[in-house]
C-alpha cells in the first residue's frame, strides 16, 4: 500500500530529472561554438602574462581617477545604497506582512506583489534609469542599489515577521497589552537580529554590484574595468580585480564576525 502511494511521487521525480538532463543537453547543443576557431594560444598567453603583472602605478597617483579613490567611491555607493534601502524598506515590510493586517489578506498580497516587481528589475537597469533622472555619478548608483534593496529586504524581513513566535504576543495581550504594544515589544524584537543580518549580507552583495554600475555612468570602479578590458590593458585589469577581491574578502570577514555576534 505504501509503495502505491509513493509511486506517483517517484515517477514525478524521474520525469523532472529527465527534463533537467534534456535542458542541460539543449543548453550545450544550442551554444554557438564558431568563435572557438579564432582562439589563439598567443592571445591567452598574453592575457595571463598581463594579469600576472598588476599595474601598481594605478593604485594611487594623487588624482581622483586612481584605484584608491574609485574603490572608496564604490564602497560609498554600496554603503549609501544599503542604508537608503534599509530605511525605505521598513514601510514595505509592514505592508507585506500578514501578521500586521490580520484578515485583510489583499493588502499584504498587494505589498508582496509590489516588492516582487521592485526586486525583479536588475540594479543595472535601475542605474540606467537614475542616470537619466539625476545625471551620471555615484548618487545614481546608490539610488539604484537602494531601490532594488527595498524589494529584497522587504520580502525577507516580512517573511521573518510572519514566522515569528506568536506565543509572546498572546501572553502580552492576555496581560492587558494592546495590539500595538504586543507587536512592538513581543514581535519586533524577534526579527531585529535577523533583519540586521540580512542588511549586512546585502551590503556585501551591494559592494559587488557597485563594481559594475560604472559601466552605465553610475560611478565607482566599473568604468575603468570596461575601458581596460576594451583596450586589452591586462595589467590594469589585474590590479583592479585584485583590489575588488581584497575588499570583498575583508568585508566578508567583518560581516561574518558581526553576524556571529548577533546570534
Q: What is the pLDDT of residues 44-103, one digit of tens each?
A: 888 888 888 888 888 888 777 888 899 999 999 999 999 999 999 999 999 999 888 888
Check residue 5 and give its pLDDT.
Answer: 52
| Domain architecture of the chain: domains with CATH | 68-220 (1.10.3720.10)
Q: Which three cell numbers stand for residue 142?
A: 546608490
pTM: 0.81
**Which pLDDT does position 27 carry in this prediction?**
85
* Burial track 16-52 (b if 16+ CB lie within 10 A, e otherwise): eeeeeeeeeeeeeeeeeeeeeeeeeeeeeeeeeebee
pLDDT given at position 172: 87
Please write down the HEC assignment for all residues of 153-206. HHHHHHHHHHHCCCHHHHHHHHCCCCHHHHHHHHHHHHHHHHHHHHHHHHHHHH
HSE of 97 in the Cβ direction (CA atoms, 13 Å)?
A: 23
3-state secondary structure 204-220: HHHHHHHHHHHHHCCCC
Measured at the CA of 41, the angle between CA 36 and CA 44, to 5 degrees, comes to 90
Reading the chain (263 residues) residue by residue, the pLDDT tens digits are 444 455 577 788 888 889 999 999 988 888 887 777 777 777 788 888 888 888 888 888 877 788 889 999 999 999 999 999 999 999 999 999 988 888 888 999 999 999 999 989 988 899 999 999 998 888 999 999 999 999 999 999 999 998 888 888 888 888 888 888 888 888 888 888 889 889 988 998 899 888 888 888 888 888 888 888 888 889 999 999 999 899 989 988 888 888 777 76
Tell me the DSSP string of 50-61.
HHTS--GGGS--
Helix, strand, or coil here: 63? coil
DSSP secondary structure code for residue 35 in this structure? G
Residues 67/228, Cβ–Cβ less than 8 Å? no
Q: What is the pLDDT of residue 176?
A: 84
Helix 67-96 / helix 106-120 crossing angle, nearest 10 deg? 160
What is residue 7's predicted lDDT score, i.e. its pLDDT?
56
Which residues, at least 6 apart from 94, have a Cβ–Cβ distance to it below 8 Å?
100, 158
How many other CB atoms are found less than 10 A from the CB of residue 140?
A: 24
Residues 161/187, Cβ–Cβ less than 8 Å: yes
Q: Are 150 and 85 in contact (CB under 8 A)?
A: yes
Phi-psi region of 97 (alpha: psi -120 to 50; beta: other; left: phi over 0): beta
**What DSSP character marks residue 119?**
H
DSSP state of 38: G
Amino acid at each position: 500500500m505504501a509503495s502505491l502511494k509513493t509511486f506517483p511521487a517517484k515517477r514525478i521525480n524521474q520525469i523532472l530529472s529527465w527534463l533537467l538532463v534534456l535542458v542541460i543537453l539543449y543548453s550545450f547543443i544550442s551554444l554557438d561554438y564558431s568563435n572557438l576557431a579564432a582562439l589563439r594560444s598567443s592571445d591567452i598567453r598574453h592575457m595571463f602574462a598581463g594579469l600576472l603583472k598588476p599595474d601598481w602605478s594605478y593604485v594611487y597617483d594623487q588624482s581622483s581617477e586612481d584605484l584608491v579613490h574609485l574603490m572608496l567611491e564604490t564602497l560609498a555607493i554600496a554603503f549609501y545604497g544599503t542604508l537608503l534601502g534599509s530605511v525605505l524598506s521598513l514601510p514595505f515590510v509592514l505592508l507585506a506582512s500578514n501578521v500586521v493586517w490580520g484578515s485583510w489578506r489583499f493588502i499584504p498580497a498587494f505589498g508582496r506583489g509590489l516588492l516582487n516587481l521592485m526586486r525583479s528589475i536588475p540594479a543595472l537597469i535601475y542605474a540606467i534609469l537614475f542616470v537619466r533622472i539625476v545625471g551620471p555619478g555615484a548618487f545614481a548608483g546608490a539610488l539604484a542599489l537602494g531601490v532594488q534593496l527595498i524589494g529584497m529586504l522587504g520580502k525577507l524581513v516580512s517573511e521573518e515577521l510572519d514566522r515569528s513566535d506568536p506565543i509572546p504576543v498572546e501572553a502580552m495581550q492576555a496581560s492587558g497589552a494592546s495590539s500595538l504594544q504586543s507587536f512592538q515589544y513581543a514581535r519586533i524584537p524577534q526579527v531585529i537580529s535577523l533583519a540586521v543580518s540580512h542588511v549586512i549580507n546585502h551590503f556585501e552583495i551591494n559592494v559587488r554590484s557597485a563594481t559594475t554600475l560604472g559601466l552605465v555612468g553610475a560611478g565607482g570602479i566599473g568604468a575603468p574595468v570596461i575601458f581596460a578590458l576594451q583596450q586589452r590593458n591586462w595589467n590594469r585589469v589585474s590590479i583592479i580585480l585584485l583590489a575588488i577581491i581584497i575588499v570583498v574578502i575583508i568585508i566578508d570577514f567583518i560581516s561574518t564576525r558581526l553576524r556571529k555576534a548577533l546570534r
